[in-house]
Chains A and B, each alone.
Chain A
Amino acid sequence: MSTLTAEPALVAQNGRSRAAQLRRFVRRHPTIVAGGVILAIVALLALAAPLFAGDAITMHPAQRLRPPSDKDWFGTDHLGRDVFARTIYGARVSLLVGLCVAAVSIAVGLFIGLMAGYFRKIDAVVMRLMDGLMSIPAILLAIALVALTRASISTVIIAITIPEVPRVVRLVRAVVLGVREAPYVEAAVAGGTPTWKILARHILPSTINPLIVQATYICASAILIEAALSFLGAGTPPEIPTWGNMIAQSRLFLSRAPWTIFAPGIALALVVLAVNLLGDGLRDRLDPRLARRM
């Protein structure tokens, strides 16, 4: 009976056009769409930069501190470099660092968190180490790590990843502690399933949704910390344009050429806002328990 009544609805759903489905998704998850679209555009611009952005490096001392115009959309900086091109190229570093830090810290944190949550013997030791690491303010830890090594993008990625790992470990461990006593896990243990299989098949899947949400927040935080490090002169080598070092190099010209600071500043805020919007939307969709708390 129920299949009979369900049939017309099914037909209607199949008959519904793709566009209508898309409209419904946009209406239900405006933040995911807004964040995703902004990020997609920025990523495309960053990838296609060599095709249209122009020269971000060459100095033109005769054309220094020109205000935004038809020719120079975002004006030029104190060395006569094109602020538009530098802003577009700056997106590359921000997005690269954000993605890499999110991926690496999730991978490392997931492994440590699974181990700590499942094997009770190492739990106490691992969690105290994580507590210690979390007590060091992330920016300071990253500054110290970068200050010790030669400036490069990979150093910056590692330096930002290390303070983020404990946050992932805590999250994964909490999820593991929640599911390891669940009847289906106990049944698998009783049935003699190998430990790695229990971890991979029965426990890992519960961590995925909260981790996707966490990954977006880590990405946002990594982009902000990278910008802060570049701004403080402890990050990416100064010859590579980043939003942080563009602002740092232009700080003395704030009153004469505010565009040199506001263009990268707005780009930075926009990208972090987009990542945060995406994160909030994914949280509402994937992790309703957490969504209610915020």
Chain B
Amino acid sequence: MGAYILRRLASTVLVMGIVAVFVFLLLHLSPGDPAAIIAGDNATNEQIAAIRRQLGLDDALPVQFFRWLLAVLRGDLGISIFSNEPVLKLIGQRIEPTLSLALTTLVVAVTLAVSFGVIAAWKVGSFIDRALMVVSVIGFSVPVFVVGYVLIYTFSITLKWLPVQGYAPIDQGFGPWIERLILPSIALGLAYVALIARITRTAMLDVLAEDYIRTAKAKGVATRSMLLKHALKNAGVPIVTVIGIGVALLIGGVVITETVFNIPGVGRLVVDAISKRDYPIIQGVILIFSGVYVLVNLAVDLSYTLLDPRIRY
């Protein structure tokens, strides 16, 4: 077990290293002079030279890479070209709305999806089962921003039940905070719900066909206990795996959801950085988001032994 954790940690470090190389190379793989690209079409030679100096682009590529990597390891993601502030500080200022949105979505989506999946597998072929299939196909097909505008139009503009957009920090009270997160979480969570519910249903169907479930039913175990204790617990591994993989959907979706609902989070930071070609910000955000994804999936892998004691490494 200890050896497995060590091996798994080593491979995580390796993958993060590869991600770092990719993120670093992004700027250098593009055709042309990176400094000229960042400076834009109307830049003077002096401006381009200044950016060159600021990013240290005159050194050899490996030198640049190790300098950048050492800085990243120290927590220095570079300086924003546009605002001249450290990228990490800018991300820190914007992290609360993003975390709030991602965590609310995660909690709501997983709860809903697992419940739907369990019910659909239990009542296979029923109305709920078919409805779930329809919702999951729609969830995979309608993009986050279309769902978002339909929700805003229906619940904010027409019915006036919820605020149109924006974000209220949690220290201004739970009510305003959650009120502004309801629609964004639904928009962001729909595809995630579809994904998790489908896998939950499949995993539950496999487990419900097992002999021990029949035994449990025969000895009169209550349906609720049979579904949750006997079946769901044993269907846990694929469900948790897909929750981990789906975090990529969530991370990508955050960028779009924040734009639709005007939430001043890290996603907006990156979208604003695109138009200004503020490359250190784009690089820093990609690195952090990818890191979160890799760590979540590490946690998922390590959770297998807790979920299923039969798994030994």
- Residues of A near any B CB (own CB < 8 A): 128-129, 131-133, 135-141, 143-149, 220, 224, 227-228, 231-234, 247, 251, 254-255, 258, 261-262, 265-266, 268-269, 272-273, 276-277, 280, 293-294
The answer to whether A269 touches B274, judged by C-beta atoms less than 8 angstroms apart, is no
Most buried by B among A131, A136, A141, A146: A136
Q: A132-B15, A132-B19, A231-B259 are in contact. Are A276 and B140 (CB under 8 A)?
A: yes
Report 27 cross-chain contacts, Cβ distance below 8 Å, ordered by A residue. A132-B15, A132-B18, A135-B290, A136-B23, A137-B248, A137-B251, A138-B248, A140-B251, A140-B270, A144-B282, A144-B283, A144-B286, A147-B274, A148-B26, A148-B30, A148-B37, A149-B30, A149-B37, A220-B141, A227-B143, A228-B252, A251-B149, A254-B153, A255-B157, A261-B153, A269-B138, A272-B143
B155 CB contacts on chain A under 8 angstroms: none
List 9 additional A-B contacts (Cβ < 8 Å) besides A137-B248, A144-B282, A145-B30: A131-B15, A135-B19, A140-B255, A220-B140, A231-B259, A233-B271, A258-B153, A265-B149, A269-B142
Q: How far is the CB of B255 from chain A (nearest CB, A)?
A: 6
B289 CB contacts on chain A under 8 angstroms: 136-137, 140
Within 8 Å of chain A (Cβ to Cβ): is B277?
Answer: yes
Within 8 Å of chain A (Cβ to Cβ): is B192?
Answer: no
The answer to whether B31 touches A232, judged by C-beta atoms less than 8 angstroms apart, is no
Which chain B residue has the least Cβ–Cβ distance from A261? B149
Using a Cβ cutoff of 8 Å, how many contacts connect chains A and B? 146
Q: Which of B22, B31, B34 contacts A133 (CB 8 A)?
A: B22
B71 CB contacts on chain A under 8 angstroms: none
Interface size on B, residues (CB 8 A): 53
Q: How far is the CB of A93 from chain B (nearest CB, A)?
A: 15
Q: A139-B255, A254-B157 are in contact. Are A228 and B143 (CB under 8 A)?
A: yes
Q: How far is the CA of A265 from the CA of B141 in the complex (A)?
A: 11
B271 CB contacts on chain A under 8 angstroms: 232-234
| B residues 49-104 in Cβ contact with A at 8 Å | none
A277 CB contacts on chain B under 8 angstroms: 137
Within 8 Å of chain A (Cβ to Cβ): is B116?
Answer: no
Which chain B residue has the least Cβ–Cβ distance from A247? B145
Q: How far is the CB of A94 from chain B (nearest CB, A)?
A: 11
The answer to whether A232 touches B146, judged by C-beta atoms less than 8 angstroms apart, is no
The answer to whether A232 touches B259, judged by C-beta atoms less than 8 angstroms apart, is yes
Within 8 Å of chain A (Cβ to Cβ): is B14?
Answer: yes
Q: How far is the CB of B30 from chain A (nearest CB, A)?
A: 4
Q: How far is the CA of A121 from the CA of B142 in the complex (A)?
A: 42
A231 CB contacts on chain B under 8 angstroms: 145, 256, 259
Q: How far is the CA of A211 from the CA of B249 in the complex (A)?
A: 22
Q: Which of B140, B146, B259 contacts A265 (CB 8 A)?
A: B146
The answer to whether B274 touches A232, judged by C-beta atoms less than 8 angstroms apart, is yes
The answer to whether B149 touches A247, judged by C-beta atoms less than 8 angstroms apart, is yes
B141 CB contacts on chain A under 8 angstroms: 220, 269, 272-273, 276
Which chain B residue has the least Cβ–Cβ distance from A129? B18
Q: Mark B1-21, 1 if CB is under 8 A from A, else 0.
A: 000000000000011111101
Within 8 Å of chain A (Cβ to Cβ): is B187?
Answer: no
Q: Which of A132, A133, A269, A293 contacts B143 (CB 8 A)?
A: A269
Q: Mark B242-256, 1 if CB is under 8 A from A, else 0.
A: 000000100110011
Q: How far is the CA of A137 from the CA of B287 in the complex (A)?
A: 10
Q: How far is the CA of A115 from the CA of B200 in the complex (A)?
A: 35
B294 CB contacts on chain A under 8 angstroms: 135
The answer to whether B30 touches A268, judged by C-beta atoms less than 8 angstroms apart, is no
Q: How far is the CB of B221 from chain A (nearest CB, A)?
A: 27
Q: How far is the CA of A129 from the CA of B20 in the complex (A)?
A: 11
Q: A231-B145, A272-B143 are in contact. Are A136 and B27 (CB under 8 A)?
A: no
Which chain A residue has the least Cβ–Cβ distance from B251? A137
Which chain B residue has the least Cβ–Cβ distance from A140? B286
A254 CB contacts on chain B under 8 angstroms: 149, 152-153, 157
Within 8 Å of chain A (Cβ to Cβ): is B108?
Answer: no
The answer to whether B19 touches A234, judged by C-beta atoms less than 8 angstroms apart, is no
Which chain B residue has the least Cβ–Cβ distance from A266? B146
Within 8 Å of chain A (Cβ to Cβ): is B180?
Answer: no
Q: Which of B137, B251, B274 contacts A233 (CB 8 A)?
A: B274
